[in-house]
Amino acid sequence: MLFKPVKKINYLDSKSKSIIKLIDNRISLYSLHTNFDKIIYPYLSDITGYTGGELLLKKGLLNSEDIGFGSFVKLSKATAFQSVMDNIKEKLKLDYIIYSGEISENVNSIAFINGAGGGAIEKIIDSLHPDCIVTGDVGYHSVKYAIDNNVFIIDAGHFGTENILKKLLAESVNDIISVNENSIRIIISDVEKNPFSVY
């Protein structure tokens, strides 16, 4: 919920209003963000039908197992870039995607990294050189770097690549809670919407 330190809480601040509402209603909040990203790295590729991916960006070891972000998938056969875009848009239930590349060309490998993975594009290209990268929050210079290296980009948005995780989280919590199923209800919120619109 909070990405920057909170120095004061007052009713004039939007974040403060949320904190006050939680306290007033005695609601506990546990926020998963980067830590959740690290344990579900193949989910974005799996949900879009590109299974069998390996860990993309390694970030240390946990119980002798690699952890990190994203997945790298080598396709069983060359696939048209336009077909990949259609599939991503459909599976993630998006109104639009932003892309860079020739839609008539084929791809043989795809790197997936959810959220703000746009900042890692240069590192991904330099280490694995995939034909295509699917992520969110892609900046101008990152796209230019991808173009210069003949890598296609699909920017499915920060919201678009993470909103799908709510269902997985609900299923994971449901598996962990070992109480009578009528005691605890798990509700997936549909309040949050993509903050961007296309004019």
Question: Domains of the chain, with CATH numbers?
Answer: 34-162 (3.40.1390.30)
Question: For the residues 13-22, what does the mean pLDDT come to?
Answer: 88
pLDDT tier at 164, thresholds 50, 70, 90: confident
CA atoms within 13 A on the CB side of 22: 12
pLDDT in tens, 103-152: 999 999 999 999 899 999 999 999 999 999 999 999 999 999 999 999 99
CA distances from 94 to 55, 84, 85, 157, 193 (A): 25, 14, 11, 9, 11
The pLDDT-based confidence of 66 (bands split at 50, 70, 90) is low
Whole-number pLDDT of residue 181: 59
Give 52's contacts (C-beta < 8 A, 6+ positions apart).
73, 74
- 3-class DSSP state for residue 165? helix
Q: What is the DSSP letter of 119?
A: G
- 60-68 own/partner pairs: CB under 8 Å, 24+ apart: 67/38, 67/39, 67/41, 68/38, 68/41
DSSP SS3 for 110:
strand
pLDDT-derived band at 60, boundaries 50, 70, 90: low
DSSP reduced 3-state for 18 = helix
Looking at the predicted structure, is the pLDDT value of residue 197 above 70?
Answer: yes
Any idea which residue has 């290209």 for tokens? 125
Closest CA to 16 of 7, 25, 29: 7
